[in-house]
Amino acid sequence: MRFAIFTRALQSGNRRKLSPQLFSAFSRSFSQLHSQSKRPSFGIAFDIDGVILLGHTPIGGSPIALKRLYQNSGDLRIPYIFLTNGGGFRESKRASELSELLDVNIQPSQVVQGHSPFKQLVKRYESEFIVAVGKGEPAAVMSDYGFKNVLSIDDYASHFDGIDPLAQYKKWAIKPASNENSSFKETTSSIYSQRVQAAFVVSDSVDWSRDIQVLCDILRTGGLPGREIGHQPHLYFASDDLEYQASFPSERLGMGAFRTALEAVFNRIHHNPLEYTSFGKPNPLVFQNAETVLKQLLSSLHPNAPAVNQSTPESHHFKTLYMVGDNPSVDIKGARQAGRPWFSILTRTGVFKGKENHAEFPADLVVDTVEEAVDYILEKECPQ
Ligand SMILES: [Mg+2]
């Protein structure tokens, strides 16, 4: 109502007839309404481990910080995503888990995990036989992306008697119930003769000794364990973090550590060095993809608002994209390499614990917590 009166006053040239107080109040209302309908010119990408959560516990005031990115109604106000090298579960499952832990409504499209770029390889391996490695539900993740012929390394290894000579000592190892029936035997014979075309390390390996053994078998033999040496199938890693911060006080070994171990062993037992492709931060492609995802999110928030430069969501340009992370060699290095419009913010709640900035990969800003990071961003982008 106030907005309508103010507009009419302006249209009829009565602007000077408004009292200064009334004019100022109308101005504020107008600018608030105007800013709500205009696309924000910035977006935010948050790392999860060591910034938002430690294990399953929110840290650094993360629930309060995230709530500030929503309207009072609970609708998303500021475009933001989670950009994590972690994974093992479908984006939809991770989004609902994060929504519960952080008490805000998070959409699957706001969760970009280390393995999310594997979607781009569906065309190449859609019907090929592939093996998925890692904690959680690696095969379900890949099936969800569209890969039609995928087995988890747990299932795959269970078809090969004696492939893991230590299995009998592993109290957690459970053989599938179907082991005894005839269909399992039929499947086993087809698994034996099917060449593995690629292996995907989707999330952190749970059983390094078994996974290094079975991957060496697959990779040395051209995808047919127990057979002769063959051409190495493709190997993909969702990320290459040497370490990450979880609930334990010091950092834990990540997928990069597993890759190092596999590579060291493989290169000792095979004549050709291991060939592989790693995704995840700090790979610049991850930051390009994050920008695209944020653009799409922004256009879904403001479907009718005109873009700053062009009319398609892809052509909208952000003035600033904030990367909030705890790991200088992953989050900050990646944002620095990606260049403008990325602006890096380093928190002290995870891997980085220094007083000053990081020496090798200095961030644009260092703060104690994610709450401070969001305060800074909102003060800069949405001054009251
Ligand atoms: Mg982290």
DSSP assignment of 1-15: -HHHHHHHHHHTT-G
Amino acid 1: pLDDT: 32
Name residue 17's amino acid: K
Sign, CA torsion 160/165/166/169: positive
**Distance in angstroms (rounded) separating the CA atoms of residues 203 and 227:** 27
Residues of the chain with CATH 3.40.50.1000: 41-114+282-381, 117-278
Ligand 1 center–CA 355 separation, angstroms: 18
Q: Give residue 384 CA to ligand 1 midpoint distance, Å.
A: 31
Q: Which fold has domain 117-278?
A: Rossmann fold (3.40.50)
Q: How far apart are CA 322 and CA 307, in angstroms?
A: 20
Rounded distance from Cα 259 to ligand 1 centre (Å) = 18
Q: What is the pLDDT of residue 36?
A: 47
Task: Give me 20's structure tokens.
Answer: 């200064």
pLDDT band for position 181 (cuts 50, 70, 90): low
CA of 238 to the centre of ligand 1 (A): 15
The residue among 363, 356, 355 whose CA lies nearest residue 328 is 363
**d(CA 125, ligand 1 centre) in Å:** 30
pLDDT score of 316: 62
| Angle separating helix axes 255-269 and 208-220, nearest 10 degrees | 50
* 141: CB partners within 8 A, 6+ apart: 87, 88, 89, 90, 115, 118, 132, 202
Q: How far is CA 340 from the centre of its chain?
A: 20
CATH fold for domain 41-114+282-381: Rossmann fold (3.40.50)
Q: Per DSSP, which regions of 64-177 are E strands?
A: 80-83, 111-112, 130-133, 150-152
Question: What pLDDT, in 10s, does the model give residues 230-289?
Answer: 999 999 999 999 999 888 999 999 999 999 999 999 999 999 999 999 999 999 999 999
Indicate whether 358 pLDDT > 70: yes
Average pLDDT over residues 320-347: 97
d(CA 272, CA 210) in angstroms, rounded, equals 22
pLDDT band at 176 (very low <50, low <70, confident <90, very high): low
Alpha-carbon Rg for the chain, nearest whole angstrom, is 25
Residue 292 or 9, more confident: 292
Residues with CB under 5 A from ligand 1 (ion): 47, 49-50, 326-327, 350
Distance from Cα 122 to the centre of ligand 1, integer Å: 28
C-alpha of residue 42 to centroid of ligand 1, in Å: 22
Residue 259's alpha-carbon distances to 70, 74, 211, 212, 330, in angstroms, are 39, 41, 11, 9, 16
